[in-house]
Each structure stands twice: as C-alpha cells, then as structure tokens.
Chain A
Amino acid sequence: MVTNNTYLLPIFVAILIVFINIIFSQKLKYDKRFANDMSNRLYALSFVKPFVWFINPDEESPKVKAEENLIKRAGLDHLMNYRVFMTFQSILFIIIIILYAIILLFADQIMAFLDFIFRIPPAGTGVTMETRIFIGVVLLSGILIPRKYLTRRAKKNDYFFTQELPVIQLSIILMLRAKRPMNEIMYTLGRNETRYRKIFEKANRIYLRDKVACWDYLRKEFKGTGFEDAIEVLENMDMYSRAETIRVLENGMEFLIQRSAEQKKKGAAFGNLFSQFSMAIPFIGVLFLGALPFAMYIFDMMNNGISF
C-alpha cells in the first residue's frame, strides 16, 4: 500500500513555517512579566485566537487556582503562570498533531529512508496500521509530560521545604542572641541564599510598610510546616522577655529537627527502595544483549524445522 503522498510534504512544511512564524513574529506590546523571553512570548500568545480557546479566562475558578498553586509549589512561578503553561501545552499539542500527520502520510517513505540509513534490506510490506496507531499513542502521551514534570518537581520541593527550617530557626535564635532588631533579622533572612529567600525578601518589604500584614503573609507561606509557632512567638516578642522568647524558640526548634529527621528517614527509605529497584536497569541490559538474541535464534531454529 505504497501511496504517493510526496506532494503533501511542501504543504506541511509550509504550515509548520507559518505556525512558527505566528509565534515568533508578534510584537509584545506590554511590560515583561517574566524573566524568560520565551515565557513573555507565550504569555502574549495566550491572548490571541488559537490559544485563547484553551484557556479559562476566569482567574478565580478553583481549577485555575489549583494550577497556579502547582506551578508555585514547583518553584517555577518566576517563569510561568497558568496562561503560559496552557499555551505551552496547546502548542505542544498542535506540534504533535502536525508531526503525527507527517508520519502517518509519509510512513513508507520514512521507512525507506531508515532502511537506507541503517542498511537493512527492505521488507517490502509497508508500515502496518497497528504501527501507525501505536506511534500516535506514543506521541499523544507526550502531552502528559509537562504536567508530570511539574507534579514531580512540586513533590520534591515540598520535601525540601521543611528540611531547612531548623537551620532558619537556628539563625533567628543566633541573631536574637546577638541582640539584632527584628527588621535586621528580616533583612538578613531575605538576603541569605536559602530555600526561603524569596519569601523573606517579600516579607521584609511588607514588614517595612505594615508589620501585621507581614506576619499574616509569613503565616500563609509557612502553613502546615510547624514554623508558624515561631512566627507567632516572634510576632509578640516585644511584650515579653527576650531570653524567654529565645528559650521558646529553642524548644520549638527541637520539634522541627525531630520532624525533619522523620521526613528524612522516609525519604531515605524511598531512596533505598529506589536503589533496590535500580537493579531493573542492568537487568534490561542482560535481557536485550543476552536473552532476546538467544530467544530469536531458538525461534528461528524451530521455524526452520531443524531438529536438535
């Protein structure tokens, strides 16, 4: 079933070029939102026709909020938001569709080319429908990859987010011992290169303007990590003795250390589990290099009816 579709190739190339041209030829008419130029472009594209269909314009809807939250947890909010992510996904989808169309129409030619490159005698049967459908399924599952990546990153970050909290509390205690004022503590925390730098940077700016809002902001950011107690203590530090505040913080730190150790044990258990499963990879090597060729040989012998 070798059909001659070669005349369609220039049309597909033209469609691809036009499509890429749409993306890269638009002028950005407003301020840059993100650090990355590509993200800015995607953000601009999210307002034009083909992509705007895929995007929920209501920013308050719970689904959009959940997406934004996922991006933030993954630590990529300086690179993208919901609109950018959805635009990226729809572009990926369109590219996959075009790619699949090309493969579907020119499968025989591609096969002939591969036969030529790898010097394999052509089978002459053409590409079966099953293979074409299989390729389609594999390509379409590529759409799931970006979201999978985000979720994995978010999970990893969630784990590490609680790991460095004892150290932060320790540095707060050390600074309090050195009789530093609260605004200086905030400033130092926002400047030190930790996982929480961005949070404290923002908190410091809020603190200069409105102290209550700053504590609320911190409480929201560290929700459910066990660090809220420390924030509570720091909030009404002025009312009590400094030495007692430090003692409360020190006791709280014990709890944080214990908690992070527990989590670490869980993580290490997972790592050990992974190291046991890692055997699968060399085993695949044994299978492919050793077992499969041997099996092929045996089957071949059986087919040819050679008796042992």
Chain B
Amino acid sequence: MSVGFVMLCHTAFDRAAQVARHWSRQGCPVVIHVDRRVKAATYRKFTRDLAGEADIRFAPRFACEWGTWGLVAATQAAAELMLRDFPQVSHVCLASGSCLPLRPVSELAAYLAARPGTDFIESVTTEDVGWTVGGLNIERFTLRFPFSWRKNRRLFDDYVRLQRRVGFRRRIPAGLAPHLGSQWWCLTRESLTAILQHPRRAEFDRYFQRVWIPDESYFQTLVRLVSTRIESRSLTLHKFDFQGKPHIFYDDHLQLLRKSDCFVARKVWPQADRLYRAFLSPHAGAQQAAEPNPGKIDRLFARAVERRTKGRAGLYMQSRFPNPAWENAMSAAPYSVFQGFSDLFENFETWLGKAAGVRVHGHLFAPARVEFAGGDTSYNGALSDSAALRDYNPRSFLTNLLWNTRGERQCFQYGPADSQKILPFLMRDPQAQISVITGAWAVPLFRASLDFPEIRKEAARLQKIEAAQVDLLRLPAVKARLRIWSLAEFVEDPMTPLQDILDEINPRAGRRLTEAPRMADLAGFGQFLQNLRNQGMQPVLMGDFPAGDDPRPTTTRRGRPYLVK
C-alpha cells in the first residue's frame, strides 16, 4: 500500500518538479495537473524535466480560475488517472505546487495505516463556518455566480444582491447536505472511488458547476455520502489571513515548521531555498510517530491577523492612524490628570509619587515649557520640552508620551493657565482619570504678592477658562473617568476623595492613606474672595467661603463626591 499525491500546479514549476521528484523517489506515485492557462513552452519544459520519472503522470489540463469549477474538474481527472494507473495506492492526497512535505512519506503512510479507513478532510456544515470570504455561506449553494469575483467584483456583488432581493434560490440536489472545508484533503481509495463513480455523479457535477468556490465544497459535501469514517481536519498545514489568502512560509519559519510535526505545509515561497533544502534532503525527519501539532504556527498567524485588524492600542504611526472612535483605545495606558491639586497642596507631586508609586509630572501643558517629572528637558522617546513643539500637535505629544512610557502610570497636573487644545482629547479618552478642584487656581493668587488689580485680572481670566472647561466636561460625550469638586467642598474633607483616587489608580493596593499632603494655609482666603467681589469680580467656582470664616478641614464624613461614569 502507498500514498499517492495529486498536485495542482500553476506557477513555480521548478519547485513543483522538485517536490514531485521527492515524493516519487520515495515510492509515492504523483499525478500532476497543470493549469491550462500556463504557456505551452513552460508546460513542455516542465514535462521534459520530469520525463525520466516512472511514477509521475500528467493529467488532462483544465483552466483553473480561482473559485470556479475548473479546479474540481482538474482534481477529478487527475484522481481518476491516479486510481487507474496505480492500483497499489491506498490513499490519495491533494496537494498544490507550492506545498512542501515536512516529514518523510513513510511516516505519513504509517500514520494513515494506524488509522485504517479514515478520510482526512475538513468538512463543516455551512451553519458552523466562520471563515468564508464575502460572507457567503449557504448562498454559495443557492445562488448563481456567472461573474468573476476577482475580475468583476462590482457585477458579482450586484448580481448577488439582485438574487437576494428577488428571492431566487437554486435547489440543492436531494440527499446533499452542503459542507465546506479546506481544499487540501487525503481520502482513502474506497471513498474517492465511490465519489468518482457515484451513480448520481452527472447530476452532482452539473449542480456544482454553478456553485461558488466548488473546490472547497465538492469533495467536502460528497464525502459525507460515501465515507464511513471522517476525520474533519486537513493533514496539510495551511493558514489563511484576514483577506482569505494563504499565509506564506519563508526560510525563517524553518524551526517552527520542524517543530509542528505536520506532514505537508502550504504555501511556501518558491525562493525559500533553505526550507526546500532542509525538508527535501534525504535525511530530513526523525520524529517517528508524533501527532501533528501546529499550535505555535497557529498562534503566530493569529497574532498577525490581530495586529492587522486591531493593532496595538494607543499607537499612532505611519501605518496605523485610526479614525476617531476606531482607535481601539485612544491612548496606550490609563493616566491621571489633576487640576487644582498642586495649587491647594504644597507638596502634592512628591506626595502622590510616593503614595501611589507612579510617575508624576508637573504641568505638561504649561505655556512656557513642558514640565516633565524631575524638571527634565527631554523625556522618554526623546520628547522635547519645547512648548511650541508640543502645541503644534498636542494630541501626538500626549499619545507619544503614553506610548513611550507604557508599563508605568503617568500622572500630570493641568489647569486653566495651561494650553487648552488637549482638553477635547482628554475628555473623550476613557483611559483618562480626571480630577478637578474648581477654583483652586485662586489659592496661589491669594498667596502671591502681586498688585491687586493684576490679581483681579488674572483671576477673571482663569475663572473664564475654567468655567468653559467645566461646561465641556459636563457634555454627554465625556468618556473620561471624571471627578469634580468645588474648592470649598474639597477642603472640608480632603482625605476621602484622595483615597478614592488612589484606590482607582491602584485597585489592589488596599492601603489606607497614612500621610496626607500638606495643604496651603487658607487663613484669610474668605476675605480675599470678598476683596475680589468688592473689586467687581464674581468668584463662583471655588464654592462658598464666607468672608472672615476661615475654612478648616473637619473630620466629619460627608457624602461621597459624585462620580461621573
């Protein structure tokens, strides 16, 4: 008993010849089908190349356009030739010209002999298929496809749509349950004979001639009628990418292919010299009875598909620039934005760094320069502290910073005095944790020794900006995790909000705060606000600070601050 190979070739004939010779010299008959569209001279050269080999035959040629009946007709003719000319063949494997045997044929024969009467063919009902291109499953069997998908995509799609609208359906021959699966199978002589000599073959052929991509359904469907034992998997290692075209193997896949223990791989780049040398040498293979195990290769290709379809979260680069709302995470990692905290607390940045174990920057969007942590003039990824560069594209600046520092949580201060162009991005980003103490900008003004008219002017400016900010942050489009307190609200009970924020940054730490940051001395702040009022300004954002009544943190717990989202 032996295994026979039917090879469908249309290009890279040197390699096909090499593989055919390899198989036939190990005692496996090979029947080769060459696409009719291949030039006569090329075909002649190919047949001349293989002329000396006893167990190689050439099958009658059919034109094999992708997705059409020609491929099935070619397979049928070649398989008939195989069964007629080589009575010793007990199994027939369908392969292509770009297949590469990874293990000696003797191991394949032993594997098949240990599972007698078994057909290895992927065969899945149309309801359970998830891989089909173009979304056509059962409709492959019930519609007509007179137009080429490759050449006349428009007509193809329009005609499908028209048939759907009209409600046209072809009748599936009685007794057939449509199945789909990989084109590369390995059938027993008995099953293959039964399919090819089926009393209703003429009827089936007529039907399948109008089915779309019959090479993925003809044998897969008919084998269900004749086989006694089906293993629904392919012995050929082949993977499809997200467009439904096969992944290709190169020299650098050598070790992966070796360890896969598969029998045949498809498809191999014709110029992968190292692969062909390694697997077609007479000494190749020593694994004995190992079960095929393509897990690693599966993962490699699954990752590639994921990279192509989902990409790396938060990365903006020359070949990934998602439209808004398609980013799959607008930034690379969660981060925290604090507004007013460093105004109210004297040592907020150092305190936060210690308490939460995170990187705390100053005002990244300060008007004069970028205040990186530690006062650096440049940062991860060689980001510059130039305010002009940052403001030229603040979104790129921030997403770059978060991408460059992934793995370490970033926190930064923000405020009404900073560049405001980044705010729409911050509010839309679910990764942003924004905590705002409104009116806290008044504290440094209160403690500054400036002329009062100047202070009044600055206070009016900041209040106007912050009021606009707060309006923006209350829009329904806000996706950030947002907390807002007025200054009066916050100073009454600072510990609870701080604890909440830290718990969110570090959910598993479960530590209670032991050390609070040092709050600025607010004695006289109420009077300061009253002075502003007396000058004709109306400070509202800081909440209620009665003049003369100095706020003092109390220990009584009030209700939690509201949390949006």
B partners with A:
no
- Give me the interface of B with A, judged by CB distance under 8 Å: none
